[in-house]
Amino acid sequence: MASGRFKNGTVDDPAGVEIFDFFFGRCTEPNTHKCACGSVLKFKTSKGYSPGVTHVKNLHSDWLSVMQEKLKNPAGTIDGFVTFVKDRAKDIYGWIDWTITSNLPFSFVEQETNRRYSKLGKISRNTLTKYMEKITERIVIKLTAELTGKFLGLLFDGWSEDGLHMVAIFAVYEGPDGNAILRLLAVAPMLDETSFDADTHIAFLESTLALYGLSLAVISFICADNCPTNLSIATKTGKIFFGCNSHRFNLGVNVILETPEMAESLAAIERLMIKLRTLKCSARLRLLTPLTAKKRNVTRWSSAMNMAVRYDKLRQLQLQTCLEEDDFDFLLSPAMDRRITRLLPILDNLQCITKELQKANGVSLLTVRMLFDYAVNDYPQLAPSLSSDASIVYDPVLEAAVVLVLDGKESELTAAQAHKIELFLKVDRPVVADERELSYAERARAHKAQRVGPGESKYINLAWIPPTTNHVERFFSRLKLVFSDRRKSLLPKHLEAVLYLLINRDLWDVREVNDILNKGEVEDDPAVIDGDNDDDAEF
**pLDDT tens profile 111-155:** 999 999 998 999 999 999 999 999 999 999 999 999 999 999 999
pLDDT band at 331 (very low <50, low <70, confident <90, very high): very high
pLDDT band at 194 (very low <50, low <70, confident <90, very high): confident
Position 78 pLDDT exceeds 60:
no
Higher pLDDT residue, 490 or 466? 466
**pLDDT of 161:** 86
Mean pLDDT for 232-240 is 95
**pLDDT of 75:** 56
% residues pLDDT > 90 (the chain):
63
Position 77 pLDDT exceeds 60:
no
Higher pLDDT residue, 57 or 389? 389
Q: How far is CA 345 from CA 216, 295, 331, 352, 497, in A?
A: 45, 19, 22, 10, 44
Are 490 and 479 in contact, with CB atoms under 8 Å apart? no
**pLDDT of 28:** 67
Mean pLDDT for 289-312 is 91
**pLDDT of 384:** 94
pLDDT band at 25 (very low <50, low <70, confident <90, very high): confident
**pLDDT of 403:** 95
pLDDT tens digits along 90-107: 899 999 999 999 999 999
**Any bridge partners for residue 391, and if so which?**
none
The structural domains of the chain, with segments of one domain joined by +, span 1-84, 85-238+469-539, 250-357, 362-424
Least confident of 115-124, 291-300, 380-389, 431-440: 431-440
Average model confidence (pLDDT) for the chain?
A: 86
Q: How far is CA 179 from CA 9, 255, 370, 397, 466, in A?
A: 55, 33, 19, 24, 9
Amino acid at site 415: A
pLDDT band at 45 (very low <50, low <70, confident <90, very high): confident
**pLDDT of 409:** 92
Least confident of 23-27, 78-82, 287-291, 491-495: 78-82
**pLDDT of 428:** 55
Mean pLDDT for 36-61 is 81
Q: How many Cβ atoms sit within 10 Å of the Cβ of residue 266? A: 21
Position 536 pLDDT exceeds 50:
no
**pLDDT of 76:** 55
Least confident of 56-60, 79-83, 132-136, 237-241: 79-83
Q: Residue 153 — φ and ψ, nearest 5°? A: -130, 170
pLDDT band at 67 (very low <50, low <70, confident <90, very high): confident
pTM: 0.79
pLDDT band at 32 (very low <50, low <70, confident <90, very high): confident
Are 33 and 27 in contact, with CB atoms under 8 Å apart? yes
**pLDDT of 9:** 61
Are 382 and 255 in contact, with CB atoms under 8 Å apart? yes
Q: Residue 159 — φ and ψ, nearest 5°? A: -145, 135
Least confident of 15-29, 75-89, 343-357, 508-522: 75-89
**pLDDT of 177:** 85
CA distance 467 to 403: 11
Mean pLDDT for 253-280 is 94
**pLDDT of 511:** 86
**Any bridge partners for residue 164, and if so which?**
161
36-40, 170-174, 361-365, 450-454: which is most confident: 170-174
**pLDDT of 241:** 96
